[in-house]
A and B are shown apart, each in its own frame.
Chain A
Amino acid sequence: MTRFVTALDRCVWWALAVINGVMSLAIFVQVACRFLFGTAVVWAEEFAVLLFAWLIFVGAAYAQKTDSHLSIDTVRMMVGRKTGVAMDVFRLLVIAACSVVAIWEGIGLAIRVLPLLYPAMEITRAWLYAGVPVGFGLGLIYMAYDVYCRLKGKPRTEEF
């Protein structure tokens, strides 16, 4: 289990670096081409926005792993241990329930929009919506591993 999550971590970490790098490069190339050659890279904007969606969903999964989603922990810090654990369980259940709905509906929508194409890239818009189930799915895996570590009393994997 730990080995799987460590390998997954490494993949997600590099995926985020590559997505961000390529997304930045795409827009930079678009600007450079306009100024240097007077031409427009018509697909660059669409491609960068598509990668941005993936960056958000995969990045949000990574934020799930590092427990760094923005939340208000004022009450959580004030309550006793038992109430705190109950709040943590409730939080996990809410995230899991939302993730399952997002995964299911994301897959459904991606299949439904398969025939729709991006005008410039001429690839299916399903790529955009596929980011939803992938991101929320990764988040669920990280969450399951977190629960596993807590139950076994193991330390969570360090950030890669």
Chain B
Amino acid sequence: MVWVLFGVFTLLLALNIPVAYAMLVVSIGYLVWNWNIPFIVVAQQLGAGTDQFLLLSIPFFYLAGEFMAHGGITARLVNLARALVGHFRGGLGHVTVVSSMLFSGISGSAVADMAALGKIEIGMMRAAGYPLGFAAAIKSAAATLGPIIPPSIPLLVYGSMTDTSVGKLFLAGFVPGLLMTIFLMVAVTVVATRRNFPLSPWVGWGPALKTVIESIPVLMLPVIILGGIFGGLFTPTEAAIVSAAYALVVGMIIGDLKLKNIPAILVKVAVESAQIMIILAAAALFSWILAREQIPAQLASIALSHHTEPWLFLLAVNLLFLFLGAFMETIPIMVIAIPVLLPIVKALGIDLVHFGVMISLNLMIGLIHPPIGMLMFIVMSMTKISMQEFVRETWPFLFALIAALIVVTYWPWIVLVVPNYFYG
């Protein structure tokens, strides 16, 4: 049965059936085959899949990012990054990485990062004489930081699917996010030195201090989110709405956000959230069927009967996810694979927080490699460069991110040091 379910599901995905409907049709087919199960379970599980308070934070975090981006105040982050690292060799490449790291504290989505900062940064690099392919490649690689440094939409989804503390997951993203930043900056330095990219003078203490002060309203957002959650003031969902309200006020007072823009932003966020959530709703039914067939438990016992070592399992999961990431989006992979892998992860004694951050980082790499990397397509349409040029320019950054993935996979301490410090 397991092979039939997954075989039909894979076939439907290949035939361009939307992920949510592929899950629904496989589940309905299963119910037809097992005629003694009432069909009402379809509506029951669809409803149950949406009935989760934690996941309300998805539209709220999207809202915060959209309000900040529409207010035009994300440019302040770019100015701050320029003051901090703009004078290094390949300075604007570093600026792109550091601004993405700062923006990651506002938005939990890589696509939001690309939408908010992509045009400004790529335009800036073009004006300074950087090759367009390099600008596109470093921007898309840097955007992958969005969902690793908290807040993070994939970590929220993972937390809700595995009953893992979202607070711990958010804290666990910090060091891996910094590691990715450092590795990407090293890659920028290597490329910039080899290709002799221009050096810019340092802006000086006065202007640097001015940009720091101007950025304070934007930088307060991650403080509100993380301080609120870890200070015990808010739940993650409440922190998300408070950050959205703060972004709205800041966007209107010091940015260009107007009241008339708000309905369109609300609709955009509603549709983006629905695209993810309808998959999670359909996955509730799909997971119910997997559990009924005891498929996850069977796979766990197969893995254990072969005396699978944790390091080997993590290697296999990474290779599988890198492969799947080449063809599928982040959330669909998570909702399909996590229920199946979870019993094995638990049986092998792998920490759920470590595993969640590892697969999130892995899936971010899928966003920038062919054939269907979402960030790759966005940046290609933004810059009109070919896929060949993008791939040629991306490989140093891809290599840097894979190096970060290896470190995160085999040194769990790096992921767990911050959550263990706060949660004991």
A binds B: yes
Interface residues of B in 1-47 (CB under 8 A from A): 12-22, 24-25, 28, 39-40, 42-44, 46-47
Which of these binds chain A: B53-61, B180-188, B207-215, B288-296? B53-61
A129 to B50 Cα, complex, angstroms:
10
| In the complex, B63 has a CB within 8 A of chain A | yes
Given the interface contacts A62-B274, A98-B25, does A109 sit within 8 Å of B60 by beta carbon? no
Quick check: B43 and A129 within 8 Å, CB to CB?
A: yes
Given the interface contacts A56-B273, A109-B44, does A95 sit within 8 Å of B21 by beta carbon? yes
For A88, the chain B residues whose CB sits under 8 A away are: 16
Contact pattern, A 35-79, Cβ under 8 Å of B = 1, otherwise 0: 000000000010011001101111110110010111111111000
| In the complex, A91 has a CB within 8 A of chain B | yes
- What is the distance, in angstroms, from A60's C-beta to the closest C-beta of chain B? 4
- What is the distance, in angstroms, from B271's C-beta to the closest C-beta of chain A? 5
Interface of B is mostly: helix
| In the complex, A102 has a CB within 8 A of chain B | yes
- What is the distance, in angstroms, from B392's C-beta to the closest C-beta of chain A? 21
| In the complex, B256 has a CB within 8 A of chain A | no
A98 to B24 Cα, complex, angstroms:
7
Given the interface contacts A27-B238, A55-B273, A75-B14, does A94 sit within 8 Å of B25 by beta carbon? yes
Given the interface contacts A24-B241, A59-B273, A109-B43, does A49 sit within 8 Å of B16 by beta carbon? no
**Of the candidates B16, B271, B275, B281, which one forms a contact with A16 in the assembled complex, judged by CB atoms under 8 Å apart?**
B271
A17 to B17 Cα, complex, angstroms:
28
| In the complex, A14 has a CB within 8 A of chain B | yes
For B391, the chain A residues whose CB sits under 8 A away are: none
For B401, the chain A residues whose CB sits under 8 A away are: none
Q: Which residue of B lies closest to A133 (CB)?
A: B43
Quick check: A52 and B55 within 8 Å, CB to CB?
A: yes
A23 to B52 Cα, complex, angstroms:
13
Which of these binds chain A: B165-173, B326-334, B352-360? B326-334
- What is the distance, in angstroms, from B88's C-beta to the closest C-beta of chain A? 38
A132 to B40 Cα, complex, angstroms:
12
- What is the distance, in angstroms, from A133's C-beta to the closest C-beta of chain B? 8
For A24, the chain B residues whose CB sits under 8 A away are: 59-60, 63, 241, 244
Chain B residues within 8 Å of A, Cβ to Cβ: 12-22, 24-25, 28, 39-40, 42-44, 46-47, 50-53, 55-56, 59-60, 63, 234, 237-238, 241-242, 244-245, 262-264, 266-267, 269-271, 273-279, 281, 327-329, 331-332, 371-372
Lowest 5 CB-CB distances: which A-B pairs, in order? A59-B274, A69-B18, A53-B50, A60-B278, A105-B43
Q: Known pairs A59-B270, A109-B44; list 6 more (Cβ under 8 Å).
A: A48-B53, A49-B52, A62-B267, A72-B13, A91-B18, A101-B28
Q: List 10 A-B contacts (CB under 8 A).
A: A20-B267, A23-B59, A24-B60, A49-B53, A63-B274, A68-B271, A75-B14, A90-B17, A91-B18, A102-B46
Chain A residues within 8 Å of B, Cβ to Cβ: 13-14, 16-17, 19-21, 23-24, 27-28, 30-31, 45, 48-49, 52-53, 55-60, 62-63, 66, 68-76, 87-88, 90-91, 94-95, 97-98, 101-102, 104-106, 108-110, 112, 128-129, 131-132
